[in-house]
Amino acid sequence: MKKVLFPIIFLVFFVCGCEMIFPSKKKPAIPGIEEKEQRVKISGPLLAMVNDWAIGADDFKNYLNNLKPLAEAQNLDIESYEFKRKLLNDLVKNQILAQIAKERGIDKDEDVIRALGDYKSTLLASKISVDLEKRVEVSYEDVRGFYEQNKQFLKKPQEMKVREIVVNSEPRAKDIYIRLLQGEDFATLVKQYSDAESAKEGGDLGYLTYDPEKKFEKFWEMTATLDKGETSSIFRSEDGKYYIVKVEDVRGGQEIPLVEVESDLKEGLKRDKIEKEKDKLIDSFKVKSRVQINEDLIR
């Protein structure tokens, strides 16, 4: 559990905001604590405190809600008492260690100051993204319009059932090709002449989708030009062998219905809108600010 909770605790701070890292100066009413000692704003009953750091029950619930996607991905029971107890105690332990570090002056270390500054900048920038996430909306009309303009690209993967003949010499390949043109059976010629492992199966490679790890590029180029039942001309592989392929069947390639991709398209369009909004903010800021980037220095 410890190995899992450490990144989770970091994510808590990153996702949920600056409140725990950069405490508010507003003073809550925490029972049993002098008002002059109260520096952190909390939400809900006091759950835990370490000197001037505190966390409320409602704060903790919000942190748990933000952790749900990560917890589900790791099959963690975020609602269990054991999980919550462990998370809370680790938060307190981290805060104690942080305060010990401060007492020892580690917070004055230049590397620490620089890292905290970088982290704060990242955290503040993430808050902009969170705000845009809440504000930006994508309508059904937006999704449908994008789908209609791009549905020719939104297709199920096309699979081709392919047989191959592979030989080591061009004259032999030409002889086989002539016999194919004369009507001889492809699978029979495979078993008689092919030098590939697939010869035992009559050259049958099964249903294939484009995968450059399995076959060389010229193989895919040639099969892509063939319709069902067609045979290629002779072509040479990178290792010098000669190929003839036949496409026996084609399946897939149909347009995917909108209902099957609506959710993904909506999410993608929203991400695109958010990025465009961020670009607008950045461009507006650059107009009134001094921003310089020397990319040549990192070559």
Kindly state whether residues 174 and 221 are assigned to the same domain: yes
Assigned domain for 260 exists? no
User: CA distances (Å), 106 to each of 13, 99, 101, 102, in order?
Assistant: 20, 10, 5, 6
Beta bridge partners of 207: 161
Distance of alpha carbon 31 from alpha carbon 231, whole angstroms: 84
Q: Which amino acid is at 128?
A: I
Assigned domain for 229 exists? yes
State the pLDDT at residue 16.
44
Distance of alpha carbon 233 from alpha carbon 231, whole angstroms: 7
State the pLDDT at residue 1.
47
Mean pLDDT for each consecutive 10-residue tract of the chain (299 residues)?
47 44 40 46 90 91 82 82 90 92 91 89 88 93 96 91 96 97 96 94 94 90 94 93 96 93 96 95 94 87
CA of residue 208 relative to chain centroid, distance: 26
Kindly state whether residues 107 and 9 are assigned to the same domain: yes
Q: Give the residue from 251, 279, 294 where a domain finishes.
A: 251
State the pLDDT at residue 3.
45
Kindly state whether residues 119 and 164 are assigned to the same domain: no
Kindly state whether residues 216 and 165 are assigned to the same domain: yes
Assigned domain for 146 exists? no
Strands 53-56 and 46-50, by their bridges, are antiparallel
Contact 244, 218 (CB under 8 A): no
CA angle 113, 114, 116 (to 5 degrees): 65
Kindly state whether residues 85 and 188 are assigned to the same domain: no
Kindly state whether residues 77 and 120 are assigned to the same domain: yes
State the pLDDT at residue 69.
73
What is the span of the domain harbouring residue 203? 159-251
Kindly state whether residues 116 and 183 are assigned to the same domain: no
Assigned domain for 144 exists? no
Kindly state whether residues 110 and 167 are assigned to the same domain: no
pTM above 0.85, yes or no: no
Strands 159-167 and 242-251, by their bridges, are antiparallel
CATH of residue 176 = 3.10.50.40
Kindly state whether residues 60 and 167 are assigned to the same domain: no
State the pLDDT at residue 39.
52
Contacts of 246 (CB under 8 A, 6+ apart): 162, 163, 164, 186, 203, 226, 229, 230, 231, 232
Kindly state whether residues 227 and 117 are assigned to the same domain: no
Per-residue pLDDT of 102-124, as tens digits, reads 999 998 999 989 998 998 898 89
State the pLDDT at residue 253.
87
Kindly state whether residues 13 and 88 are assigned to the same domain: yes
Assigned domain for 49 exists? yes
Assigned domain for 168 exists? yes
Q: How many domains, in total, are found in the chain?
A: 2
State the pLDDT at residue 2.
46
Kindly state whether residues 94 and 173 are assigned to the same domain: no
φ/ψ bin of 25: left (φ > 0), alpha (ψ from -120 to 50), beta (otherwise): alpha
Assigned domain for 74 exists? yes
Q: How many residues are there in the chain? A: 299
Assigned domain for 139 exists? no
State the pLDDT at residue 19.
42
State the pLDDT at residue 37.
41
φ/ψ bin of 166: left (φ > 0), alpha (ψ from -120 to 50), beta (otherwise): beta
